[in-house]
């Protein structure tokens, strides 16, 4: 089952995606955290209005996650391309919630950091149940599904602080989508992941290169704190980020990044000039 969010007029609806059509879920919830917390059968709610996928304005499947957690250096080849040792403990950081945008939305090239913006195609976990101290062999029970995230990174800001938060959290720097896949038989650990920039393949890997897999990550994080429904966990990026090409291939205004993960779909976003806005 694929679950998407889309805008219809002034409202936002959660829908099931089947073939080339959206079927709205009969719910008052406009975002997944509340709906997942309710513990209802989502498939049974898919009885509402239908919209052709070609006409839908898709949004991020989780618009306002209670938390966005991420894992750094979590593919062996990515650690190696940066000359780093393979971690023995997951490297965890956070992204600010205002970074989230949906498929097709413009991602900002910051005016004060325009030459250091990079892509990172990632498989992302969506937590489905409030949980703590989850054993690794029970992790699948608390995962609602999986989606795609581009962990856009401003490299000079990222490296200026050991926490990485400021380099990972610019507004629009967390594109997510196009939807979330929910399937008990879905295996997140053997999926082809391909990132293209303007059609050129930059990352071409498989989630079997993860150092800490999805279940390891849920176990590790829940050992320290409670995970709430709708929490998004970006599991790390494979080799091929722009920083480590020779010469580096950083993003610029006019670029388009598409991330395809087997069994989920493709997330595509254009990169645009940051709007000239300020708080007066």
Encode pLDDT of 182-216 as tens digits. 998 999 999 999 999 999 999 999 999 999 999 99
Mean pLDDT of 112-136: 95
Q: Are 81 and 244 in contact (CB under 8 A)?
A: yes
- State the pTM of this model: 0.97
Rounded to whole angstroms, what are the CA distances from 200 to 77, 99, 109, 242, 252?
20, 25, 20, 12, 15
- Residue 252: helix, strand or coil by DSSP? coil
pLDDT band, very low/low/confident/very high, at 112 (cuts 50, 70, 90): confident
Residue with tokens 């304005």: 57
- Which architecture characterizes domain 2-59 according to CATH? Roll (2.30)
Identify the CATH number of the domain defined by range 68-273: 3.90.850.10
Nearest-angstrom CA–CA distance, 42 and 28: 13
Handedness of CA 128, 129, 134, 135 (dihedral sign): negative
Handedness of CA 239, 244, 248, 253 (dihedral sign): positive
Domain ranges of the chain: 2-59, 68-273
Task: List pLDDT tens digits, range 67-82.
Answer: 999 999 999 999 999 9
């Amino acid at each position: 089952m694929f679950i998407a969010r889309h805008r219809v007029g002034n409202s936002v609806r959660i829908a099931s995606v089947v073939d080339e059509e959206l079927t709205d879920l009969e719910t008052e919830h406009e975002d997944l955290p509340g709906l997942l917390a309710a513990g209802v059968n989502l498939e049974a709610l898919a009885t509402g209005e239908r919209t052709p996928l070609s006409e839908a304005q898709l949004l991020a499947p989780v618009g306002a996650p209670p938390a966005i957690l991420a894992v750094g250096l979590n593919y062996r080849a990515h650690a190696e391309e940066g000359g780093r040792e393979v971690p023995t403990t997951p490297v965890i950081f956070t992204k600010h919630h205002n970074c989230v945008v949906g498929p097709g939305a413009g991602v900002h090239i910051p005016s004060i950091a325009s030459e250091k913006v990079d892509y990172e195609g990632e498989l992302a976990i969506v937590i489905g149940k409030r949980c703590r101290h989850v054993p690794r062999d029970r992790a699948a029970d608390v995962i609602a599904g999986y989606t795609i995230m581009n962990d856009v990174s401003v490299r000079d800001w990222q490296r200026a602080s050991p926490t990485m938060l400021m380099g990972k959290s610019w507004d629009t720097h967390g594109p997510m989508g196009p939807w979330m896949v929910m399937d008990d038989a879905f295996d997140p650990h053997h999926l082809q992941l391909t990132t293209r920039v303007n059609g050129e393949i930059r990352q071409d890997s498989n989630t079997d290169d993860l150092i800490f897999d999805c279940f390891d990550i849920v176990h590790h994080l829940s050992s320290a704190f409670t995970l709430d429904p709708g929490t998004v966990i970006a599991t790390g990026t494979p080799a091929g980020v722009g920083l480590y090409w020779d010469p580096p291939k950083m993003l610029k205004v006019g670029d388009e990044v598409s991330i395809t993960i087997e069994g989920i779909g493709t997330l595509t976003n254009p990169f645009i000039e940051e709007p000239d806005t300020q708080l007066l």
